[in-house]
Amino acid sequence: MQKTIEKSFNSTPPKTGMPYYWKVILVFTLGWVFMYADRTILNPVMPILAREFGINNAQLGLINSVFFLAYAILQIPSGTLGDRLGRKNVLVPGYILFGISTAFTGIVNSFFLLLIARIVTGIGEGTYYGPQYALSSEAIPERVRTVGTAVINSGQAIGISLGYITASTLTLENGWSWRIPFYIMAFPTVITALLIWFVIKEKPRKLNVEARGTEANKGDVRKTSMFSLFRNRNLALTFVMVFCSLYGFFAILTWLPQYLQTERGYQGSDVGFISSLVPWASIPGALFFGYLSDRFGRRKPLVYVLVPIAALSIYLVVYTQSAAAMMFALIVYGLTGKLALDPVLVAFVADNAPKEAYSTAFGLYNFIGMSSSILAPYITGYLVDQTGSMRSGFFLAMILLFVGLAAMIFTHEKPRTKTA
């Protein structure tokens, strides 16, 4: 019976098309599309929100910070519950809640209710990361794990661009209400949740234990805890790296559209187009570096290349006076920044975490990373209010990337045997 389930889970049905793991990749890519579209449709219209609700830059940053606070808090419990109750049983209801609360965001008529709507949306989205990467890491063969993760992460890039362009075109260019993009995104989000439920197959929890063989291994499953993951030096230092990487990413994600409007003088759909240079560039970057990671079986050398280049590109974005140089820097950051680095780090976590605790490990990884996203929008907004410019906020993001790079130096990468 066990062999039958494993064969169903891993094999390609004869003459019926793509392998199952590619279906996993495509469905979870779509899941990230709407997750990130929801996060970015708000950012181009932040000046409109400031006028409508009478709020300052720090309060604008708070809108995203409370979202990410709720999102981050859900990471560990959703990962743990996913390991215990089933990943789909946690992921899909949360995704449906996310879709419903996206529609509610467009209805609110006060700053307080807007904060509540974003908190509920963060709770819904918070069930996705750990269970999703646990399911995909089980399904995707190790030989193509980083590339597969990079393809899934490309949904983040597509979603960022979709959110930026939708909001800037409909609201800034055509004068529609800032609420309309939220209504537009809500329906396909719920449809995506149902697609995940019907397409994704999940190994029964009992099968995961049996696959490891003995009663002793069953005991190991029970003893694997969140705290034991911190005792793994490689995991703990990777958590530092992801915190620093995501801080810079969310500082840029949140404030780049307003920076382009207030400090560079761009208007209308130009804001969405230029902001989208980062996610567009990240797709080939993530696929290329993911391929190199799988091809050579190493993660750390790519970290040493990607992080310094990403840090210097952030510096160039705000300190160059040339529009062409700024756009070039945004493209370079897209090629080497968070969206390109994340598949490498996810694969590094998968290499070092016990498989029976994948959801917990990925939930913890994302909790720590997303903790920076709670701080980045508000701190950057506060620095803007204090200095009158976004340069200081972006400079801090650059410094933190070098802190993360220093942490990764002390990790130890085990030699990996190549699989056919």
Residues 147-175: tens digit of each pLDDT = 888 889 889 889 988 998 899 889 988 88
Angle of CA points 339, 119, 109, to nearest 5°: 115
Q: How confident is the model at residue 217 (pLDDT cuts 50, 70, 90)?
A: very low
Decide if 141 is inside a domain: yes
Decide if 417 is inside a domain: no
Decide if 125 is inside a domain: yes
Amino acid at position 314, single letter: I
Using CA atoms, how far apart are residues 209 and 222, in angstroms rounded to an integer?
A: 10
Decide if 392 is inside a domain: yes
Query: Are 213 and 94 in contact, with CB atoms under 8 Å apart?
Result: no
| Full domain range(s) for residue 81 | 18-409
Q: Please tell me what DSSP assigns to residue 168.
A: I
Give me the percent of the chain exceeding a pLDDT of 90.
32
Decide if 7 is inside a domain: no
Q: Which of 301, 235, 294 is nearest to 416 (CA)?
A: 294
The pTM (predicted TM-score) of the whole model is 0.70
Angle between helices 323-336 and 338-352 (to 10 degrees): 10
**Domain count for the chain:** 1
- Please give the pLDDT value at position 92: 95
pLDDT tens by residue, 259-296: 888 888 888 778 878 888 888 888 888 888 878 887 87
Tokens of 11: 């094999």
Q: What is the CATH number of the domain that holds 404?
A: 1.20.1250.20
Decide if 308 is inside a domain: yes
Tokens 């808090």, residue?
73
Q: Which of 202, 200, 164, 203 is nearest to 185 (CA)?
A: 164
**Residue count of the chain:** 420
Using CA atoms, how far apart are residues 164 and 234, in angstroms rounded to an integer?
A: 36
Return the SS3 of 368.
helix
Decide if 40 is inside a domain: yes
Decide if 8 is inside a domain: no
